[in-house]
Amino acid sequence: MNRDEALKILRRKDAILENPSVVAEAIEVVQNTETDHGNSGAASETSKESENPADILVDSYKGAIEFLFEIGTWLTYTDDDAQSTRNIIESVVMETILQNYDRNKAIKCLTEENVDDTMEWLSHLIESARWRQTIYELAQQPRNEDCPFLSLTMPCIAVKEELIGELISVPLAWNTLEIFLKCVAYILHPLLSANTELMDDDLFLHDVAFLKSASMSSTQQQLLQQQQQQDTVFNHCLLDVEADPDKKRIYQILRHFLEMGCHSEQTYLIIQSMLQCLIRQRNDNAARHLSWLLESEASRRGRDVSRYSVYFCFARNYPTEVAAMRAILSEQSLLPQPLDALYLAYRGEAPPPVGLIRQPLFIVMLADALFASPERLLSEQQECYAYLYAYASVTAEKVDFETECRIRLDRSRIAEVNREVLEASRICKHAKLREAKDSPGKRYPAVRSRDNTESLMTNKSSSLLQWNTMTGSAVSLRAFRDLPTLLQCLHHRAVSFGVFRFLWVIFRSKRVDFELNLETMKPYCIVVNELATLNPFIRPALLSFVTELLGSVMEGMEDLSQLEYKRMLVGLLVHLITCGYVLPTIRTMHSLFERNHVDVSIARHFVTELLNVAAPPYDPTFMNCLHPLVSHPHIIDGLHAGRNTDLVKEFLVTSGKAQGDANFAVRKEFPRDIGSKICIFWQECLNLVMIYKVVWWG
């Protein structure tokens, strides 16, 4: 450091607050060197006086930082709750750091002469939860992905085992193998030990129900492009509306698990390898579900994990079939030659393991080709697709995990399911809706009697007419001549999943037809209700499907038509409740209403129709779930003015007592006003002094 550099350091604003070792060195350089002005004359004496280190530090001292902290200390005495004021001040400080953090200046903390001091104050810094949160937010900013200072901070935090739970949401920490393994162990333990009802087939099927493949038609891709992130079990309404704390915690951990697995190819391989070890050693079903969910999420994010997917299928003795499946998964397309190879192999006497064709993406591609795609199939193609689809759905086999040899194989149900898949595929491929008309002189009244609802719902013939008990009308089967045959096929899971994919595309692509004539929508509603009645495993997906339609904006549709359209969707939700899917459906509607995703008239209609099919004695859980929605001021006022007053009063009396006006907490105006002023004051001051330099010694 030369004299000019030393003087520059000492003349900085508040230089005395800089790194003590740097300031000391600058003072020593100034004192031990002389200027070039000479040793005589007034000019020389004046120059020496002006370059006195003590005078320079005094002149450069502004005291802005001490002033700010002193003001902050005073402000803590203006309110009874000093902590709230501190929180406001700290929040402004954190926000300033997040906006002005410079990774290049932060690197100066890691120089040889500064690293010891840096580690000392960093160890104190991470003791504070607020400062750790600031570090996590900095680490998640794209510009700080490989910041050396933040990367150094992660191992310092990971040393404390109790803080590992905070790092499961910080991708920068996963770049260190030791920390990543600790995070994996942290999240796998609760997932593997969770209740089997939380980690079951329904969860996986809900997630796969909205999976998109590249082989879908361009129309389908446009319809589902915007839904790719929001139509999973973790990104829809379930996590927000679920009241069960244990289930909510598991879903939150599951979200972090998927993020970690899809962070990079290395993290995916490590987690999948660990899960496969658990599957082979313990035959752990929870680990198997997690492996499928991770593979499904990787496919959804466009990751090519085909070589790992086929490797974990116990099919190393079938290299030709493994290569064929990998080509299909890699291209995300039903390639003719690889499919023919798989078809011939699974028709043979010694077929490959069924796990090879139970890949989530492959199942989705087969379902779309058979049911949802508008493209015509040759008879040979349809037979090939249907056989592989049926084989994957009902074949039961047992494999020795150590030798990878098959012990038992049961293919007895393939022929039956294959016929049903072909029949349902034919109907979905060629179904053309005609204008729905009621039979002449015959009308089916709306179901209002709550005593016979259960018998009606369990009667198969009546279920064809009860697609919507809210409108007071039914639909002739002439509008969909093959409807009874299709409904008979829905008992099989394979068919129901394919028909669900078919309905998902239909409801999103035929909105124009529904706008012109809502009668054309009724046969599809019949199928949705029958799916809900016969297949409990697909009800969560149906709820998400109907909820998304209910909360969407129908651009171009007349207000009356849109209202009737959404009333029909409400009928589907009420039918879900009569099928036993009660609490999730009610909570979802409540969430939509609170977020203004549905009009108050739709929520009011939902309440009235639900109370029409439900009668005392109510289950306490049901009452607690529905009461906040029924007693909401915007809903209860409209209900009391209509014909459903008795039903509402009956429910409110039965559930205890109606809640009155909302209780507004008494808040002191002075702390609220002073809090906003503190925020503005601190923001302006911190922008001037750039307090982040003090924190990072940049």
Mean pLDDT, to the nearest integer, of 356-363? 92
389: nearest Cα among 498, 505, 289: 498
Is residue 578 within 8 A of residue 470, CB to CB? The reply is no
* pLDDT at position 693 over 60: no
Closest by CA position to 608, among listed 576, 579, 648 = 648
Supply the pLDDT for residue 431: 57
From 93-102, 113-122, 390-399, 532-541, the region with the lowest mean pLDDT: 113-122
338 band by pLDDT with thresholds 50, 70 and 90: very high
85 vs 273, higher pLDDT: 273
Could you tell me if 489 and 423 are in contact, meaning their C-beta atoms sit under 8 angstroms apart? Answer: yes
* pLDDT single digits (tens) 17-57: 777 778 888 888 888 886 554 454 444 444 555 678 888 88
- Token output for 70: 């002193």
Given a cut of 60, whether residue 563 has pLDDT beyond it is yes
| Mean pLDDT, residues 310-317 taken together | 88
Least confident interval from 337-351, 378-392, 593-607, 644-658: 644-658
On the question of pLDDT at 229 being above 70, the answer is no
What is the DSSP code string of 333-392? S--HHHHHHHHHHHHSSSPPPGGGG--HHHHHHHHIIIII--S---HHHHHHHHHHHHHH
Share of the chain above pLDDT 70, in %: 75
| pLDDT value, residue 128 | 86
**What pLDDT is attached to residue 403?**
80
**Between residues 210 and 327, the one the model is more confident about:** 327
Ranked by mean pLDDT, which of 52-56, 153-157, 230-234, 560-564 comes out on top?
153-157
- pLDDT the model gives residue 683: 53
Between these two residues, 111 and 60, which has the higher pLDDT value?
A: 60
DSSP 448-513: --SSSHHHHHH-HHHHTT-S-TTSS----GGGGTTHHHHHHHTTSHHHHHHHHHHHHHHHHH-HHH
Question: What is the rounded end-to-end Cα distance, in angstroms, of the chain?
Answer: 18
Per-residue pLDDT, averaged over 456-480, amounts to 36
Residue 399 and residue 464: Cα distance in Å, rounded? 43
pLDDT at residue 80 greater than cutoff 70: no
529 or 511: which leads in pLDDT = 529
More confident of the two residues 698 and 486: 486
Please check the confidence at residue 574 and state whether its pLDDT lies above 90. yes
Q: Is pLDDT of 571 > 90?
A: yes
What does the pLDDT average to over 344-372? 93
Distance between alpha carbon 282 and the CA centroid of its chain, in Å?
A: 30
Distance CA 13, CA 643 (A): 75
| Confidence at residue 23, expressed as pLDDT on a 0 to 100 scale | 84
Pick 179 or 81 by higher pLDDT.
Answer: 179
Per mean pLDDT, which range of 155-169, 370-384, 466-480, 500-514 is the poorest? 466-480
Lowest-confidence pick of 105-114, 164-173, 689-698: 689-698
Arithmetic mean of pLDDT, 242-249 = 68
